[in-house]
Amino acid sequence: MVSTSAAERALYFIGRPLVRSFYRVTALGLENLPARGFLLVPNHITWVDALILQLACPRPIRYVIDQEYYHKPILHQILRAVGCIPINIRHSHAAVRAAAEKIANGEIVCVFPEGQLERTGTLLRLQRGYELIARHANALVVPVWLDQLWGSIFSFQGGRFFTKLPKRIPYPVTIAFGKPLEPNAADVATMREELLKLGEFCFSRRPSLDRHLAEECVRGLKRRPFATAVIDGTDHSKLSRAKLLGAAAAFSRYLRKQFSDERIAIVLPASKGSMLANLAVTLANKVPVDLNFTIGRAANESCCRRANLRVAISATPFMERLKDFPWPEHILKLDELLPRMKRQIILWWIISVLAPARLLLRLLQIPKKGGHAEAVLLFTSGTTGEPKGVVVSHRNVVGNVSQFRQLLDAKKTDAILASLPFFHTFGSTVTLWYPLIEGVRIVTFPNPLEAAKCAALIEQYGLTFLLATPTFLRLYLRKAEPEQLGTLRLIIAGAEKLPLDLASHFEKRFHKKVFEGYGLTETAPVVSVNLPDQQPRTSGEHVQPSSRLGSVGRLAPGIAAEIREPETNRKLSLYESGMLWLRGPNIFEGYLHDPQRTDEVLRDGWLKTGDIARFDEDGFLYIEGRLSRFSNKGEALVLLSAVDIDLTQLRSKLHEAGVPNLWIPKQVQRVEAIPVLASGKLDLKKCQERAAER
């Protein structure tokens, strides 16, 4: 039994009730705490982490603390009374010995391995000091995760400490203690992996993730009801958030009454009408299926058959442009239907403004829980075969919106260009559901290939976020003027690898950096993203990096990762190259009516991404290739090129650059243009056909 001083007991007697009045702490994994002394290793988010961690732990914790803070007059007596251990980073031997002695005496010693507070809410580089203590003391190491503290007044959310109002009192916090690790096994790569797993465990327990997607949309649209929700970039018409909700509510009642179908197809480009249709289908507790009208009749027939689609929502002008589309038996044309519903729309608009959210949810018959039930059905582009139906649950969308919210940290004045089609997972979550839930204004435009018109909209409406694929960004280089993109503060490229030359040329022309992100349809889709670095407040101040060239950024909160050997699934270090496996609330439920393919990629909640990847010590993820695109025995690598290339010279330069033989092409196939999908990704199926023509 560890003895405590009278001063320490007095501090705990006064301090615990005080902290409990502001924080409601749930402690998980207390059974993992060893009975003897050990080393505790947590993440570090706020100024009050130590207080909250002590509230969760049944035994006193001795914190290793920078001696600069330890000796501050206002803190010194308190820190000394509770047994803190001062450390001088340059001369740490005394602190290591003191910590080892306390552990040997059966006490708990805690080190915050990041060495500083997180400024972006994501885990930083872990310093190796805790390894010295663990090995010197031969102590077990217990990882611990503090969840939901990002956003509290003591965190840096919003770019500032303290000057925020608390969102709730008492503020809910979850603390999860992991299983103890032997001192020699607790290296920084393993510790990062274990902390991320605890973070995912905590995030996935958040009650808000079980809400129905429709409830999240209603609550989101009820905030600032008279603010503009969407501007249609083709005719410049606007819808306020309340009017959008009212129109969608009226339409949803019609859908409930007229059709018993579980899923309803939507065949529209990114537009005000498409946004309304998706929202209405969700409010009707049905599943919206945005079909990719660019992939051809046969592929869409396959989609309709697999999803049993009998009803489609579209509009007459757009239908006239689709010459060979396999329309189902019932077609609802927005331009004909909505004018006939004018009275109902006005009624529901008034109700949506006046009724509290709870009453409105009851009137709309929105289920109290969504959870793992299907919320959205997305079809893959079918680049390598028949399109697969990706079942995305309410939990997936709500969870990924929550993850993206923390990454983006948008302001009320921010606005997004929504030109990516909603049948694309990036367009679906990031430019449809995220703005509906978070209250971010969007301007829609149906064709991302028309970069000149998109750039004009950015300038006209002062848009701040541009989310695009590298293919579309190349068009901006040719068709947009620098002043048109002046208001953008964040440009994120996804869906395919961002070429470094494109990023460089874009920055030179527009004086704007392009930040690369990574995701999959199966991850709903956001996994990681690079973000702008924080600006130093004083000259010479160290700034925590938020981006790294060549990487796809740090993982979104609530996602755990493993690197495994592709052939054997043997677990590797996060810092080694291998198959990337992911777990989190955004991992999809499976492929529609395809258990075999589902079993190939989903195992015990983990998703096999198919991508070869590694992490660096700062937690940045690097995608090094896609396993399915590696050459197999007997195959030859063919380079498709829209320009003339000297193959001998190319091969020689690639050899000199150290490129492995696996990636050096043996043939060049000259084509007029590289086949690209409407989403901006390479059309791999057509690329293979072009390569096989020779």
Of 409, 377, 417, which is closest to residue 394 (Cα–Cα)? 377
Q: How far apart are the first and last CA of the chain?
A: 79
Lowest mean pLDDT among 13-27, 132-146, 450-464, 525-539: 13-27
pLDDT of amino acid 182: 94
Is 566 strand, coil or helix? coil
CB of 109 closer than 8 Å to CB of 99? yes
Look at residue 633 and tell me whether its pLDDT is greater than 50.
Answer: no
pLDDT value at 428 more than 50: yes
Residue 183 in this model has a pLDDT that exceeds 60: yes
Report how far residue 381's alpha carbon sits from residue 388's, in angstroms, rounded to the nearest whole number. Answer: 8
State the average pLDDT over residues 76-102: 74
The tens digit of pLDDT for each residue in 218-265 reads: 999 999 999 999 999 999 999 999 999 999 999 999 999 999 999 999
pLDDT in tens, 569-578: 999 999 999 9
Cα separation, 437 vs 221, in Å, equals 7
Inform me whether the pLDDT recorded for 166 exceeds 70. no
The CA distances from residue 520 to 436, 445, 490, 610, in Å, are 21, 23, 21, 10
> Sorting pLDDT into bands at 50, 70 and 90, what band is 18?
low
Q: How many alpha carbons lie under 13 Å from residue 162 in its C-beta half-sphere?
A: 1
**pLDDT band for position 629 (50/70/90)?**
very low
Is it the case that residue 486 has pLDDT exceeding 90? yes
Averaged pLDDT score across all residues of the chain: 88
- At residue 199, does pLDDT exceed 70? yes
In percent, the amount of the chain with pLDDT more than 90 equals: 60
Q: Please check whether residue 493 is in contact with residue 512, taking contact to mean a CB–CB distance below 8 angstroms.
A: no
Q: State mean pLDDT over 629-657.
A: 73
Q: 631: pLDDT confidence band, cut at 50, 70 and 90? A: very low
The pLDDT value recorded for residue 371 is 93
**Integer Cα distance of 148 and 207 in angstroms:** 12
pLDDT digits (tens, 9 = 90+) for 59-79: 888 888 766 666 667 665 666
Q: What is the mean pLDDT of residues 143-162?
A: 79
Confidence class for position 114, pLDDT limits 50, 70, 90: confident
Helix axes 241-258, 213-222, angle to 10 degrees: 150
* pLDDT at residue 6, as a whole number: 64
The residue whose two tokens read 């992996």 is 193
156 has pLDDT over 80: no
Highest mean pLDDT among 154-158, 200-204, 622-626, 632-636: 200-204
pLDDT value of residue 89: 72
Give the tens place of pLDDT for each residue, 295-350. 888 889 999 999 999 999 999 999 999 888 999 999 999 999 999 999 999 999 99
661 has a pLDDT exceeding 50: yes
Please give the pLDDT value at position 151. Answer: 73
Average pLDDT, stretch 167-176? 84
Q: How confident is the model at residue 159 (pLDDT cuts 50, 70, 90)?
A: low
The 10s digit of each residue's pLDDT in 277-300 is: 999 999 999 999 999 998 888 889
pLDDT above 60 (res 630): no
Look at strands 61-66 and 85-87 and give their pairing: parallel
Instruction: Examine the pLDDT at 50 and tell me if it is beyond 80.
Output: yes
More confident residue, 536 or 350: 350
Q: Going by C-beta distance under 8 Å and a sequence separation of 6 or more, which residues neighbour residue 283? A: 214, 217, 218, 248, 249, 252, 364, 366
Of 114 and 32, which is predicted with more confidence? 32
482 Cβ neighbours under 8 A, 6+ residues apart: 509, 510, 511
pLDDT band per the 50, 70, 90 thresholds, residue 2: low
What domains can you pick out in the chain, each with its CATH number? 6-204 (3.40.1130.10), 636-692 (3.30.300.30)
